[in-house]
Chain A
């Protein structure tokens, strides 16, 4: 079996990240409020195309997606490609895996390249919390459908007769889980309490995120990762002067009804955000033919899901399972990683996942491991900031992390003269999560 697997691995080609681009992320209702998902995804793709100098090229595939989607966006990514500078003969498709959408597009495009189906593709994602769809009530929806089918005036009247005033109130989108009715924040508050994550630790994660992101901007790190959009050139959620002291003054917003101390604030939780990202992934041959320098190889990825509905596991804890499985498959440990990216849905998500990996009990009972996964070296964690500072336009986050991490890996490999490896972990609604390993080339 092992031999078969090894042979299969050997026949695969390498899929490499050659360029990344995103538009600056903006807090919902702000700078990008009037931009649609399609506008933003098109802009992200166009910036990437210009950076790589591949205007007019036909790519093998573009995979994208959005979490909050209008019904008119049924073919969102294809429409974005048609509006972009790519050859219109470039096929495209949508993927939806909640906040892990971007990771799954990277995984899918990479795999197509690895097995030889395509030579080059773009993986990306977009979300607008500002331009979110608002649905009509179930009562109004049924009445309108019946009205459409009605032929005679009497039938039409009859269709409308059953409407009640309450039916006219629209249904706004929420971040609530359909099966529990709890918001994501309230779910995470349960996990926070379960793992005893302190307020100070959470504020420290948040402050580092802002400081690291600001420092990365200052040294020009994002010059070739971000293209301005509608006059905005930096993530507008970023607070360069953020400190633990300032964050400690904020009032809790989640877990207030729980018995213990509420520790989750607007400062250590990600805000609703608008934005889009795109990553160019190619075979090594295609990169060299197009005079593009690979930054990192997409080595492998693993998805996991947990039963949060019964309360058996926390909603956002799936990465705690995905990462050990991925490391085991690749014969690697946490200590082999030079960079670790854990998506900051909430500061306490990062801390709870890291606590789980350190816990003998969790690793034994939940993961079936004889010893803990290990401790994350904080100096390797989210070194250029993450979602608490940049914001989190759900489906765009995967592309943001993959592009930034690939660039950082390439820079470190060059500076240190040895290959560098990174682990990426992204949690998602529905109790899911995706982990990925990138390696410098």
Chain B
């Protein structure tokens, strides 16, 4: 009788355990799809994720692109005096864009919070203004 009572409680328990993945211990995990936020190379100390990698590749690509433009197309990076009264080149404008974007994002996060779509569009707008007028 005691044995039956034990079985009565144990059988559903084991079914629940099975359903929640206890039976998968020791099996190879199923391959997951690509995710922007998963570690790119697990166990590597720099802890890259695809998202952060893309940001840095973007920044370096922008610098390289500006360098190429200055060497072959526009010498001195179209130096001009903009609305802030600063004499800027392409590189200066990129720097002002990036630094300004950082502050737009930080201000948004500090005062309003996530998500950050609005500051993203603000930053793009800021970049256009900087390359156009500053």
A binds B: no
Interface residues of chain A, those whose CB is within 8 Å of chain B, are none
